[in-house]
Amino acid sequence: MPSFPRRLRVTGHVEIEFMSQVKDETPDMPAAPPQAGRRLHPLPIRVMHWINAIVMLVMITSGWGIYDDDVIIRGLHFSPFWRLGDWAAWSLNWHFAGMWFLGINGLIYLIYGFASGRLREKLLPIRPSDVVRTVIDTLHFKIAHEDITVYNAVQKLLYIVVILAGISQVVTGLAIWKPVQFSGLVWLFGGFQTARVLHFAGMAVIVGFLVVHVALALLVPRTLWAMVTGGPHLAVRSRIRKGHAQRGHAT
């Protein structure tokens, strides 16, 4: 099969991935920078992402089981289908078991993210004008996703919001789990019941994020696959991206 004409026909991103594969086999490529071979999602990120994905589902669905014994919003119940644990005792056991995995995994993620510079590199800066432009583009169904290694402004914002929501869930969770030992936290949130409502609201934020996040990942399965295999190699990526961008300007 002739590879050259085929390559001409393929779209930008496939070409990029093709070239990044070539890179591994071509000895006369320029010497790679020190972080060459670093993938979009390094192994620790992938492991922590999938642990978090499972634990989040456990926390959300077991939380719904706990919620149902004394609802916050009158009339809002979660049917047994959506609850983890066949009744409150086991929903609580799931929730307090998941708590350890969520807390420890999340803490390591934050330490890793700050220490490696990944959080800053991926999520900052966010310019309000970029947010507005991305929203307008999205409303016109112009969702740019050729380059999955760079997040648009709305993505950055959503990831920051969900990380903050996760931290908030741990803190409000501690407040309602130990309102005497951590009475300072309860005071900070304006009382036990307020902390409880905030814990519920944090769940709603995370579920909202989850719906968008999963929908987009399924729309662009490449992103989902990247969170399994690691995705494109970054050093090569950025070099090619420059060329890609220049071509874009020329047209």
Residue 74 is a binding residue for another protein (CB under 8 A): no
Per residue, what are the HEC states of 87-145? Answer: CHHHHHHHHHHHHHHHHHHHHHHHHHHHHHCHHHHHHCCCCHHHHHHHHHHHHCCCCCC
Residue 80 is a binding residue for another protein (CB under 8 A): yes
Q: Quick one: which of 178, 204, 243, 247 contacts another protein (CB under 8 A)?
A: 178
Residue 156 is a binding residue for another protein (CB under 8 A): no
The enclosing H or E element of 161 equals helix 153-177
What is the distance between the alpha carbons of residues 182 and 199, in angstroms, rounded to a whole number? 15
Residue 228 is a binding residue for another protein (CB under 8 A): no
Nearer to another protein, 58 or 234 (CB): 58
C-alpha dihedral, 86 to 89 to 93 to 96, nearest 10°: 120
Nearer to another protein, 119 or 227 (CB): 227
Q: Which amino acid is at 230?
A: G
Q: Are 234 and 224 in contact (CB under 8 A)?
A: no
Residue 81 is a binding residue for another protein (CB under 8 A): yes
Nearer to another protein, 79 or 129 (CB): 79
Nearer to another protein, 51 or 108 (CB): 51
Name residues contacting another protein, limited to 40-69 (CB under 8 A): 54, 57-58, 61-62, 66-67, 69
Q: Minimum distance from CB of 183 to another protein (Å)? A: 6
Per residue, what are the HEC states of 181-241? Answer: CCHHHHHHHCCHHHHHHHHHHHHHHHHHHHHHHHHHHHHCHHHHHHHHHCCCEHHHHHHHH
Q: Which amino acid is at 130?
A: D
What is the distance between the alpha carbons of residues 97 and 99, in angstroms, rounded to a whole number? 5
Residue 86 is a binding residue for another protein (CB under 8 A): yes
The binding track of 186-215 with respect to another protein, each residue x by CB under 8 A or -, is xx----xx--x-------------------
Residue 20 is a binding residue for another protein (CB under 8 A): no
Segment near another protein (CB under 8 A); pick from 12-20, 113-121, 184-192, 223-231? 184-192
Binding site for another protein (CB under 8 A): 54, 57-58, 61-62, 66-67, 69-70, 72, 80-86, 88-90, 92-94, 96-97, 99-100, 178-181, 183, 186-187, 192-193, 196
